[in-house]
Amino acid sequence: MIPQNMIELIHQEIDGANTPDESRQLQEYLSQDPTARQMYGELLTLAGMMARVPQAEASANVQKIVMNSIDPKRYHRRKNIGEYLYHKVNPDPHPSTQSKEDSMKSKVIFTGLGMAMAVVIYFAFVYPWPSPVESGTEGTIGAAKKYRSEQIGDKDVQLGDQSGSSTVA
């Protein structure tokens, strides 16, 4: 009966995972136990046989099929404004097709920004806004006054034809 710790050392030895001390300990044990020695020999042969099984070559089509199946624009990253300005200041010395596209985009963006600024300047300084102070047009804002009228009293109420009532009585 091989002790469990020795069985583990046998397997680890086959996998090259033993420390030098563990290897030495195992070799000492193997020299005394022929059953353990046989087990070690068989497992070592098994590992050698598996190592000799050739690796299969994948078809050359795998890459082609994969690349045709995936979306090339899935990870197309949008540059933030900081990066955008950085690249404007430090242009790529070797512009590619992509940077030409970026250049076109930047022209459109800059044109748009320029037009927006021109509109703002025009309305801020050139457009003839009405003068803020013109007589009769000033307005004031204050607390609204509560309208109070005099209350109607009994003396203000006169019923018509009061003489008639005395006739009935």
Partner 1 sequence: MSTDEDRELVSACLEGEWSAFGKIVDKYQKPIFNIALRITNSWDDAQDIAQTAFIKAYENLGEYDANRKLFSWLYRIAVNEALNFRNSRKDFGELNETLHSSEKSPDETTYELQRNQSIEQAILQLSDDYRVAVVLRHFQNLSYQEIGDVLHIPEKTVKSRLFTARQLLKALLVKADVL
From the list 48-56, 102-110, 111-119, 125-133, the region that binds partner 1 by CB under 8 A is 48-56
Q: Which is nearer to partner 1, 65 or 116 (CB)?
A: 65
8 touching partner 1, by CB under 8 A: yes
DSSP 54-82: PPPPPPTHHHHHHHHHS-TTTT-PPPPHH
89: left (phi over 0), alpha (psi -120 to 50) or beta: alpha
Q: How far is CA 168 from CA 35, 45, 158, 164, in A?
A: 143, 140, 19, 7
47 touching partner 1, by CB under 8 A: yes
C-alpha span between 90 and 106 (Å, rounded): 14
- Give the gyration radius of the chain's Cα atoms: 50
43 touching partner 1, by CB under 8 A: yes
1 touching partner 1, by CB under 8 A: no
> Which residue from 1, 19, 53, 126 is in contact with partner 1, where contact means CB under 8 A?
53
- The residues in 72-131 that bind partner 1, with binding defined as CB under 8 A, are 72-77
> Which residue from 51, 81, 126, 159 is in contact with partner 1, where contact means CB under 8 A?
51
From the list 27-35, 43-51, 109-117, 122-130, the region that binds partner 1 by CB under 8 A is 43-51
The answer to whether residues 7 and 37 touch, using CB atoms and an 8 Å cutoff, is no
CB neighbourhood size of 167 (10 A): 7
Interface residues toward partner 1, by CB under 8 A: 7-8, 11-12, 14-15, 17, 42-43, 45-47, 49-59, 61-63, 65-67, 69-70, 72-77
